[in-house]
Chains A and B, each alone.
Chain A
Amino acid sequence: ETGVTQTPRHLVMGMTNKKSLKCEQHLGHNAMYWYKQSAKKPLELMFVYNFKEQTENNSVPSRFSPECPNSSHLFLHLHTLQPEDSALYLCASSQESAGSYNSPLHFGNGTRLTVT
């Protein structure tokens, strides 16, 4: 059971496709995140939104485009991906990301993306 829901759970796409990942949190949090999890590598932060404003873009290629219409929803739009982009994409939320106050991340179950 999780307060952070991600869809789809699995996605297979070709390099010319356009797809979107969706994340929704029901925890009343103000910050939302996209992380990439590849085998044998640390979790890589991609994007951070705090109160709907993007506060971090961790040198992510432009073929990944985030969208945060409100504090509860986060999207990751994908286009012209490469096979090396295949990974588990995790969404997370926290009470707040900025300043001296911090709180733990609550993760969704992730989307397993395979780029063919």
Chain B
Amino acid sequence: GENVEQHPSTLSVQEGDSAVIKCTYSDSASNYFPWYKQELGKRPQLIIDIRSNVGEKKDQRIAVTLNKTAKHFSLHITETQPEDSAVYFCAAFYGQNFVFGPGTRLSVLP
């Protein structure tokens, strides 16, 4: 089955700096990769996604890159703000379901 690893588990950055979170997956059959943001006490919310036929996607300060050969994908957040502080989960759609990474706790320090 699919296995998704995510690094780092915690990340602290200064406000205005960039943050990068990386995920790897094991099965080349996975074809869709969403990223979710979960603020404390709230539900996970989709922030960006990418399909396997695309190498990069950007939405304002957030971008995702996908390297199918290496089987890894990354979330990039530029010009970080305190409201970006949350836990971020990557996921891979495999078979008929999503497999999630363990999450990265991002803290943006003012």
Contact = CB atoms under 8 A, between A and B. Distances in A.
B43 A102 contact: no
Contacts of A109: 42-43
Contact of B101 (A42, A106, A110): A42
A55 interface: yes
Secondary structure of the B side of the interface?
A: strand
Contacts of B4: 42
B96 A48 contact: yes
Contact of A56 (B46, B93, B96): B96
Contacts of A48: 96-97
Interface in B76-100: 89, 93, 96-100
Interface of A: 2, 4, 40-43, 45, 48, 50, 55-56, 90, 97-100, 102, 104-110
Name the 8 nearest CB pairs between A and B, nearest first: A43-B100, A107-B43, A42-B100, A42-B102, A104-B46, A109-B43, A102-B93, A104-B34
Interface of B: 4, 31-32, 34, 36, 42-46, 49, 89, 93, 96-103
